[in-house]
Structure 1
Amino acid sequence: MTIHRALITTLAAVTMTSTAPDAAAQQPAGDARAAGTFEWHTWSGDAGSRRYRLFVPAGHDAARAAPLVVMLHGCTQDPDDFARGTRFNALAGEAGVLVAWPEQPAAMQVQKCWSWFDPAHQAASRGEPAVIAGITREVMAGHAIDPRRVYIVGVSAGAAMAVNVAASYPDLFAAIGSHSGIPYRAASDVPHALAVMRGGSPDPAILAYALQDALGGRAMPLIAIHGGADAVVSPMNSRQLAGQWAGVLGVSSSPVQRSTEGGLGVERTRWSGADGKPAIELVIVDGLGHAWSGGSPEGTYTDARGPDASRLILDFLLAHSR
């Protein structure tokens, strides 16, 4: 617990663009009111037991397989908070997508952080990746889900864990979305994790080897979004994450494109696959801190400015299938 407190003390010491939750925000409002159901479930298996929220859009046809997105919250958040801040359920409802929101409770980690930096949670068949994969499979077994269109997304510690899960179960997920995340296996303990968060990996060239071994030749598309002014997790991490993925997929980048979206400058880089679709997309948002771009003030660690990260991520994911 001391190890995790050290990590969170560093996180808490940095001023973040965020909306502090008030009493009203503690209830599953906002995004939870999207057309459909948003209910708690509990998964249990060899790796333990964990609650999760499941959003099922109104009119979901049990005879027609739908996509599934798994959403992993960041430190101090929970599924309700993350759903409010991203408004992801509303977009998913429009697109006919189911969304699973696993919970990392305070009982497991005092600040609700996923243990992305711990080697015990960086591989298949154990730890938190096994829990999240178990939740994913339970939803797939209980609902009409297209197994070729299952995706995973996360923010901050949740983004780092989403990378761990996707790399651990490449046959389960078709694509991944990372917001304010970190490369796969960039750290193996807390001191290393803190150093990586501050400035990225000191030896990014070796990162692709770990990912190559994990993916085993699977070409899994990735979209990574990061605030250019993020003082909690350096944007260098998403640059290295995209580079790690590009090294494994063997794709080359197109020229950087710059635009202004939501009042902030945006730097966008794409790496295209053989089919012409972006295999990797990196979006750096100037002036954005450690916050979900284009998010809602009903959730924590959001910034209403910048491009709508939820829409960017969902559009990217749905353009790919396994």
Structure 2
Amino acid sequence: MNPRFHAAIGEATNRLRTSDVTGATAAIQRALAGRGSMPSAASDGGTRSGDNPEAPPARGLRAILQKLRQEQASFVHAPSHGDTVTDDARDGEKVRAHRFQSAAGSVAYKLYVPSDHAGRELALVMMLHGCTQNPNDFARGTRMNALADEFGLIVAYPSQPKSANAQGCWNWFDPRHQQRGAGEPAVLAGLAQELASEFKIDRKRVFVAGLSAGGAMADVLASTHPDVFSAAGIHSGLPHGAARDVMSAFAAMKGNAKVTAQGRSPIRKIIFHGTADATVHPSNGRAVFDLAGSAQGKPAEFQTDAVINGKRVTRSLIGHGDAPARVEHWLIHGGGHAWSGGDRGGSYTDETGPDASREMVRFFLET
């Protein structure tokens, strides 16, 4: 366990013994933010991914498996830094700051709209940042705006204020924010519905993705609002219902989550997690996968290994024959608590390994 992470456990426990709930909460939130425990791209020993050939779109499980048998790594394309346009200043009028207001509450967000969106069949992707991050940082690190131009995506980046959580974390572990009709899930789902209506986007093309606390909240939304989102991407996150307070959140992050059927959801999911994640134990990613599979009646599971941009990846899929996978789980061997294939200009990113953003978009748009 990371020494700082361990120290935070001790501090929180001692403060609770003296009834210092506020201090204990602050200690746990520092741990939830992963301060000092985040392996960087450099510490992972990675190198820049370079220009890998982009694979033709694979349709269905059989096609994917056949492709992997033929080529161990070439089905992933990781764009170079020169291809990336994510910064507000460079995106210009493509990015606008907005605020969504509803009866359940309000949220500020950044919105990326491709300049050629008129006349295209659009999709909506809501991106939920992790603790200590913000929309600009998350957009830069994930390179999602470049993919928005390529695939016709409207991308929303909600911002969690420190007034709601001292570390800017989405409150996935708080029962007030785990149910339909109230709290953060209601606000975020309402925002997605408003944007889908504004841009005339079919519900089948409305998606949510997130990292860490954002990934956990993405799974909450997948469970509470399957009528709003048709697929979810969970990177280094936890399953819905894994915690009910800050102490159980701490336990869940260590790999001691008490997972229940609350985390089941009928919508499609793609999960990324690193085996060397010292902030959120990789068992949480597997728990999301297993719960998602059980919600599908546990159809056939397929598994394959590949080496992608220097990282060994175990990819598990659940689905039926030639149909797109219902659930995908990407276990990145040696990967830390960082967005796989991300841009070093953003926080909590690892340039090596598969391009999580591109794979999520591919998964979302498969029909």
Query: TM-score, normalization: structure 2?
Result: 0.78
Q: CA deviation at 1:7?
A: 2.2
CA contact (8 A) 2:137 2:347 kept: yes
In structure 2, the CA distance between the partners of 1:157 and 1:4, relative to structure 1 (3 Å rule), is: farther
Match of 2:54 in 1: none
CA contact (8 A) 2:340 2:355 kept: yes
Match of 1:60 in 2: 117
Give identity over the alignment, percent: 42
Q: CA deviation at 1:139?
A: 1.2
In structure 2, the CA distance between the partners of 1:91 and 1:112, relative to structure 1 (3 Å rule), is: same
Q: How many residues align?
A: 302
Question: Hey, what's the Cα distance between the residues in 2 that align with 1:281 and 1:67?
Answer: 20
In structure 2, the CA distance between the partners of 1:122 and 1:245, relative to structure 1 (3 Å rule), is: same
Give 1:7's aligned amino acid: I
In structure 2, the CA distance between the partners of 1:274 and 1:4, relative to structure 1 (3 Å rule), is: farther
In structure 2, the CA distance between the partners of 1:278 and 1:35, relative to structure 1 (3 Å rule), is: farther
In structure 2, the CA distance between the partners of 1:282 and 1:35, relative to structure 1 (3 Å rule), is: farther
| Higher share of residues assigned strand | 1
Q: CA deviation at 1:81?
A: 0.3
Match of 2:235 in 1: 179
Match of 2:106 among 44, 49, 66: 49
Q: Deviations over 1:50-104 (max 9, x none)?
A: 110111112111x554110100000000000000000011012100111111100
Q: CA deviation at 1:36?
A: 6.6
Match of 1:6 among 3, 16, 27: 27
Question: Hey, what's the Cα distance between the residues in 1 that align with 2:352 and 2:169?
Answer: 25
Q: Deviations over 1:127-170 (max 9, x none)?
A: 00011012112212322322221001010000000111121111
In structure 2, the CA distance between the partners of 1:262 and 1:200, relative to structure 1 (3 Å rule), is: farther
Match of 1:154 among 182, 193, 210: 210
Query: TM-score, normalization: structure 1?
Result: 0.88
What does residue range 8-27 of structure 1 map to in structure 2 within 5 Å?
A: 8-11=29-32, 12-18=34-40
Match of 1:164 in 2: 220
CA contact (8 A) 2:107 2:187 kept: yes
Q: Deviations over 1:161-214 (max 9, x none)?
A: 01111211110111110000101101111111101101142x44xx2x2245xx
Match of 2:95 in 1: 38
Give 2:318's aligned amino acid: W
CA contact (8 A) 1:153 1:162 kept: yes
What does residue range 185-204 of structure 1 map to in structure 2 within 5 Å?
A: 185-201=241-257, 203-204=258-259
Match of 2:296 in 1: 249
Match of 1:276 in 2: 323
- Counterpart check, 1:92 vs 2:144: no
Question: Hey, what's the Cα distance between the residues in 1 that align with 2:211 and 2:329?
Answer: 15
CA contact (8 A) 2:114 2:148 kept: yes
Match of 1:81 in 2: 137
Match of 2:344 in 1: 297
CA contact (8 A) 2:304 2:314 kept: yes
Secondary structure at 2:206 match in 1: strand
Q: Which sections of structure 2, spanning at least 5 residues, go unmatched?
A: 1-21, 42-83
Secondary structure at 1:148 match in 2: helix
Match of 2:76 in 1: none
Question: Hey, what's the Cα distance between the residues in 2 that align with 1:103 and 1:189?
Answer: 22
CA contact (8 A) 1:65 1:144 kept: no
CA contact (8 A) 1:36 1:57 kept: no
Secondary structure at 1:124 match in 2: coil
- Higher Cα Rg: structure 1 or 2? 2
The two structures, once aligned, show a CA RMSD in angstroms of 2.1
Query: Which has the higher mean CA deviation after the structures are superposed, 265-274 or 82-91?
Result: 265-274
Match of 1:136 in 2: 192
